[in-house]
Amino acid sequence: MTKLSVNINKVATIRNARGGNTPNVKQFAIDCERFGAQGITVHPRPDERHIRYADVYDIKPIITTEFNIEGNPKGVSKSKPYGFIDLVKEIRPTQVTLVPDAEGVLTSNAGWDTVTHQDYLKDIVKEFQACGIRVSIFIDANPQMIQMAARTGTDRVELYTESYASRYADGREAAIKPFVEAARVARDCGLGLNAGHDLSLENLTYFHQQIPWVDEVSIGHALISDALYLGIEETIHRYLDCLK
């Protein structure tokens, strides 16, 4: 069964736009799980423009499913005297997803170069696994990069699916092809498989039909946008239906 992890960053973005605690990010995480989500994802960035480091501490005790923290291991909070690695090792989520975000990017826009950063990733993966944390590496649908990711000792890779989503309307068969190949390589390497970025109600069902062995999809922007019209409970149910 493919699990749905809801990325709640956009909820924090709305809250931060006005200040205060509306919407309540902690309560939203509770409700997502209550409505069927099998995981909660957060991606704290150094500028804390959406999820704040403090949010991660608030959310951890209430998670009853899986907690996934995404981010660049080199990130350092601008409001706290510690960095991403310190945060993750203290929180000890179910999973940490390593994302090579550059400073100031609007959203994640590339996977790791696991050739260039092989030694660095090996060390980071080992450090997190020693704390009992499952590690996933955010990666493009590139067979070589996936094979080299396997050499780091990571538990999973997360396919960066933006190109699939952007090409879907022009021809879903062509759009999915490199992802099926990449997913097969990951499976042959013994890696678990996650996917995320711009997956939506429009394209998720087909993605899952073609790669039914994906372990988890992490979805935020599209899901929260759909919830503005459908409500969060109905939206989560519809995304879960895509994964049946």
Select which of 33, 70, 158, 216 is catalytic: 70
Q: Is 221 annotated in the active site?
A: no
Known active-site residue 208: no
Packing angle, helices 25-34 and 9-18, rounded to 10: 150
Q: Is 70 a catalytic residue?
A: yes
User: Tokens representing 72?
Assistant: 């660049």
| Given 43, 158, 208, 216, the catalytic residue | 43
- The catalytically annotated residue of 33, 50, 197, 208 is 197
Q: Could you list the active site residues?
A: 43, 70, 197
